[in-house]
Every structure is written in C-alpha cells, then in structure tokens.
Amino acid sequence: MSGAAADPTSIPPLSDITLVEFANNTTGDIWNELLVLARQPGVVNLGQGFPDYDGSKVAREAAAEAMVDPAKSALNQYSMPLGLQSLQSAVSTFYNKSYGLKEGAVNRAIEPENVLVTIGATEGLYASLKTLSGPGDEVIIFNPGFPWYLTTTRVVGATPVLVELDGPDFAPDMEKLEEAITPKTKVLLINTPHNPCGHCYTKEEMEGFARLALKHNLFVISDEVYENVTFGEARHHRIADEEGMFERTVTLCSASKLFSLTGWRVGWALSTPDLLKGLAVYHGNTSYCAPSPLQHGLAVALGVEDGSFEGIPKLVEGNAELLGKALTDKGFAVTQPQGGHFLVADTTPLGLKGLECAKLLLTHAKVGVVPGVIFYFPDDTGVDPDRPLLRFAICKRRDTIEEAVRRIREMDFPAPK
Ligand SMILES: Cc1ncc(COP(=O)(O)O)c(C=O)c1O
C-alpha cells in the first residue's frame, strides 16, 4: 500500500536542471528591465542586436512566392530533417566559392552532407553542446561572450570553464587558455567575429586553437554567425580549415546575421556527417526541420549572393567608425571592432560603472545599450560583476546611429569622481 495520497491541488516540482537554471540566472531581471525601457517610444535602441533595416529582399521574395504560388505548394510541408536539399546544396556551393574550399585540400570542400539546417545558430549551439558534452565534461568559454554559451552549457549538464579576455583588444591569451584545459575538457567554444568585443581571430590565433585542440583531443564549436561582417584589413578565418580540424569542429552559421533575418530562425551547422548525425538527434526531437519556405528563400538568396550582402557589412563598418569617434570624444575608452555587429566601450575613464552609465544613457540621452553585467559571465574570482563595459549594437540604419551620436554628443556626463 502506498502512503498518504498526494495533495490534488499541488503539482510536481520542475526538473532539477530547470530549477538550477532558475537559481543561476541572476541577470535575467536586469536584462528584462532594460529591454522594456529600451523599447519605449523615443528611445534609440542600440541594446539588443537586431537590425532595423530590411533583411535580404531576394530571400523574402522567394520565400513569399513559395508560400503563395500553387506551383510551389510542396515547399510548405516538412522538409528533410537535415534541411531542404536545395539549401544544403546552396550552402555548400556558397562556402566553397567564398572561402576557396577544395576537395582533397586541407581547407576541404563542404558537401551538402556536411550541412544541417537548424532553427538559428541558437538551436545549433544546443544540439552541438548536447552531442559533444554532458555531465562530467568541461566546456571552455571565453568571458565575456554571447550569454547563451553559459546557460546552454549548464542546461546540457556540462560544466562551463571561463577564460578571461582582456581589453583593450580582447584577443585570446593562449597560455591562459591552455592552463584552463583539464582531462575533463571536452569542448572549446570560440566565436569570431566576437560578440560583444568585435575581435576577429587571426590566422595565427586559429592555428593556436587548432594546436591545443589536437594536443588535448578536444572538439571545437566555432560560432561564426558574423562571418560576413569584417572591417578594414581583418579577414574571417575558419577553424575547420586548419589541418586536422574538420573532423572535430562544428561551425555554427546563421541567416539571422548573414541576411539580416533574425526572426526567420534559420541557421546551419557545418561538420562531418558523423557529428551531424549526433546533432540531428536533438534537432529531430525538438523542431524536426526548419521552416521549408524560408529555407527555400535562403537557398535562392545564397545562389545569387556576390559577397556584398546588399551593402550591409559596409554600412555596419561606417556605423562603427561614427559611433566610435563620438564615444571617444566623450571620454569612453573605445575598442574599435574588427568585425561583427557590436562595439564595446569602457566607462572607467568617466568614473562610471557599467550599469550606472547604461541607465544614464537611457534616461538622459534616451539611448539604450547593454551593460557588461549582462554579457560578462559571473565567475568566482571575486571581480565585481558590474564590469565597466558597455555594448552598443551597430547593426542599425545610418540615421539611427547618427541620431544616437547626436544625443550622446549633447549629453553632459558627470565629472569623473
Ligand atoms: C555570437 C552569436 N551566436 C549566436 C547567435 C544566435 O543566432 P541565431 O539568431 O541564428 O539563433 C547570436 C545572436 O545574437 C550571436 O550573437
């Protein structure tokens, strides 16, 4: 006989992993508060990294046609879980052409079977971490970084190990990185161009990562969602193109960034069929496949892309220069980005903490930004989590940036204490 009957008005507790995540998520409230404030009328929102210009016209028109043209009605049904074949082929052709990848070379060609279409890089990240790591495994993450790295690592049950990036250039310190590797390390998670710091890994840095991954037998998850946005002399280098790395790398890419279509939720993971088979377990059991008409739109857009991406990378580069100059003139210590969608500025010379400065910018200049407390992962080094760094999204129309610059230039910052 069982004991006392359960209280019919109570429900069982949520899973342990969910409850731990609730307890660990200490910055969610600040983020939500800033998000609501930054979306108020009259605020120039350089907080969240979504474009305020239109995404690829070619992709949108082709997707719209797929949705309404009776001759294309089949495109409104499930596609194969790995992706619509036309998109897998278009991705393969696009990467081989853009990066000069070749069959039999070290930087070997990407075939359609090396492509798994995901629900954005976010799902790609989850499926990769779930495939490559689990309880007892350590995942190395650079700090600061894209907030999902920490939470997703925890959600899959693995242990995040943080390696600090130091300003002003936020380049990785290979000695510090090697010191963080233990026998439990399974995955090195890298991101280039970097969110939020705008650093693009050099060829030498990629070789350094490859050397460590091979020496310590690690997988690499390489988040390259901003691959097409590099500035000046900076170039995008792919870790998968380093000798011996293709087999142990999952590269995450995204139409959110490539074609400025963040709401479409389509991306792709590039790897070997064996590793993608692992990712497909989680992709198949969460979403099954990405939206078919949108995949079609992206296949068409990739097919005609000439590398200019409708002028967006040039626009973002100009935005970085404009905003960087204004912030420097106001006394911020600016890290001029080498690529990506963000610019970071240190508030120390102004005598302000990050959150304090973000709130001042919001209330006095009505410019929304993200403070360091959001994109720095909390660590156990005793460093104040309110780091004196602000992140500005620069994936915006030129007039948006000009308005933000005008407001920031007019603002009176308190005299340094
Ligand atoms: C570095 C990085 N990786 C991944 C993502 C998520 O991309 P997606 O929209 O494809 O899920 C973002 C979005 O901001 C990002 O900044």
Across 81-240, the runs of DSSP E, i.e. the strands, are 115-118, 138-143, 159-164, 185-191, 219-223
Q: Which of 16-30, 44-58, 85-99, 319-333 has the lowest mean pLDDT?
A: 16-30
Containing 119, the helix (H) or strand (E) segment is: none
Rounded average pLDDT over 231-236: 96
Is 367 within 8 Å of 391 (Cβ atoms)? no
CA of 297 to the centre of ligand 1 (A): 20
| CATH 3.90.1150.10 domain range(s) in the chain | 16-54+310-410
Distance, CA of 177 to CA of 195 (rounded, Å): 18
CA of 290 to the centre of ligand 1 (A): 16
pLDDT at 25 over 80: no
**pLDDT the model gives residue 144:** 96
* Number of neighbours of residue 12 by Cβ within 10 angstroms: 6
Fold topology of 16-54+310-410:
Aspartate Aminotransferase, domain 1 (3.90.1150)
> Ligand 1 — pocket residues by CB below 6 A?
49, 120-122, 146, 191, 195, 223, 225, 254, 256, 262, 267
Distance, CA of 341 to CA of 306 (rounded, Å): 20
Distance, CA of 197 to CA of 201 (rounded, Å): 11
Enter the tokens of residue 239.
Answer: 């870790």
Confidence of residue 126 (pLDDT cuts 50, 70, 90): very high
Query: Which pairs count as long-range contacts for 150-153, CB under 8 Å and 24+ apart, including other chains?
Result: 150/377, 151/21, 151/24, 151/25, 152/125, 152/126, 153/129, 153/189
Question: Cβ neighbours of residue 146 under 8 Å, at least 6 residues apart?
Answer: 191, 195, 223, 375
Distance of CA 3 to the CA centre of its chain: 50
Which residue's CA is the closest to the ligand 1 atom numbered 4? 121
Question: Cβ neighbours of residue 315 under 8 Å, at least 6 residues apart?
Answer: 53, 397, 398
Which ligand 1 atom lies nearest to the CA of residue 266?
10
| CATH 3.40.640.10 domain range(s) in the chain | 57-304
Strands 333-335 and 159-164: what pairing?
A: unpaired
Which residue's CA is the closest to the ligand 1 atom numbered 15? 146
**pLDDT the model gives residue 2:** 53
Q: SS3 of 405, please?
A: helix
Indicate the top mutation candidate among 195, 224, 395 to test ligand 1's pocket, ranked by most ligand atoms within 8 A of CB.
Answer: 195
CA of 258 to the centre of ligand 1 (A): 11
Indicate the top mutation candidate among 223, 225, 253, 294 to test ligand 1's pocket, ranked by most ligand atoms within 8 A of CB.
Answer: 225
CA of 243 to the centre of ligand 1 (A): 27
DSSP states along 197-242? T-----HHHHHHHHHHHHHTT-EEEEE-TTTT-B-TT-----GGGS
Distance, CA of 394 to CA of 318 (rounded, Å): 9
CA of 85 to the centre of ligand 1 (A): 24
Class level of CATH domain 57-304: alpha beta
**pLDDT the model gives residue 380:** 74
Confidence of residue 23 (pLDDT cuts 50, 70, 90): confident
**pLDDT the model gives residue 20:** 87
CA of 146 to the centre of ligand 1 (A): 8
pLDDT at 417 over 70: no
Containing 245, the helix (H) or strand (E) segment is: none
pLDDT averaged over every residue in the chain: 94
Is 362 within 8 Å of 371 (Cβ atoms)? no
CA of 361 to the centre of ligand 1 (A): 25
Rounded average pLDDT over 124-149: 97
Burial class (CB in 10 A: 0-12, 13-18, 19+), 14: exposed
CA angle 287, 293, 295 (to 5 degrees): 70
Is 210 within 8 Å of 245 (Cβ atoms)? yes
Instruction: Please name which of 43, 101, 147, 73 lies closest in space to residue 385, comparing C-alpha atoms.
Output: 147
Which ligand 1 atom lies nearest to the CA of residue 223?
3
First to last CA, the chain: 71
Enter the tokens of residue 253.
Answer: 């890419």
Q: Which of 257-266, 305-314, 348-357, 376-385 has the lowest mean pLDDT?
A: 376-385
Residues in the chain: 417
Is 24 within 8 Å of 369 (Cβ atoms)? no
